[in-house]
Copies of this chain bind each other. A is one copy, B any other.
């Protein structure tokens, strides 16, 4: 649901440049004869133009120098049309065109698997194009029993108790990561109940310079016999919550969450939970998961608000 924003939007920059957004998209495409064929760009409604190198007919025979010449001519044309930026999609096997584009000012926006995307901001000042994904998401599951599942991970230099958990796979829901990781690491089957805590850390080691969002979920166990992963963990056992909340042999975040769970046992988990609701997105037809404090069921009656 996010428009292509970064601070002030790209659209704003266009508006400031005196052009209404959709005017820039009137032409279906723009073709530029280069020394080795057409360099075709597709305008978008944000004032940018997108080039897919796969659509270049003469790609197989085009050398890097000829491509650079054609691209330079096309950039001049796009600038004269008032375009804001260029998006250049390059299949991995055509990566010989990356360096020529870089000499004209293009930089990587992102790359994944078998293609890369480069961008060039055509206006004065820093680029206002939206960035790429900034966070990895790790999820830990906390089985909500008086005795909770804890393990000592092999990976740490200093062995401390931790909650079972790991990184989300692409497209995986928070709760599903928690359930999967708890099962892989401990052999315990469980179901999602709520979201207990969120940690944001920047420059996180292992995140390739990006930020880390670490989310701790509360799970209900469906089985109790531990069959833990000996390759990842040195020990795994049920541990008393009170003992965990008091031990020094763990991290601050673990003690905080242990304390939180004890509070939940005492006062009710509704006091500490963000529960989940699945809702339809307005424009896309997709569904999303929304987490917040669950309001009492009689709240509608009390307030008349659905």
Contacts and interface: CB of A to CB of B under 8 A. Distances in A.
Interface of A: 1-9, 11-12, 15-16, 64, 92-96, 98-99, 102-103, 107-117, 130-138, 153-158, 160, 166-171, 173-174, 180, 184, 195-214, 229, 231-232, 242, 245-246, 251-253, 255-257, 259-260, 262-263, 266, 271-272, 274, 277, 279-284, 286, 288-293, 295, 299, 303, 305-306
A97 B260 CA distance: 52
Contacts of A207: 2, 133
Nearest to A112: B108
Nearest to A166: B5
Nearest to A45: B155
Nearest to A160: B282
A110 B107 contact: no
A206 B134 contact: no
A196 B299 CA distance: 18
A191 B202 CA distance: 21
Most buried by B among A1, A199, A245, A272: A1
8 contacts: A108-B111, A110-B112, A132-B136, A137-B213, A198-B292, A252-B282, A259-B295, A271-B293
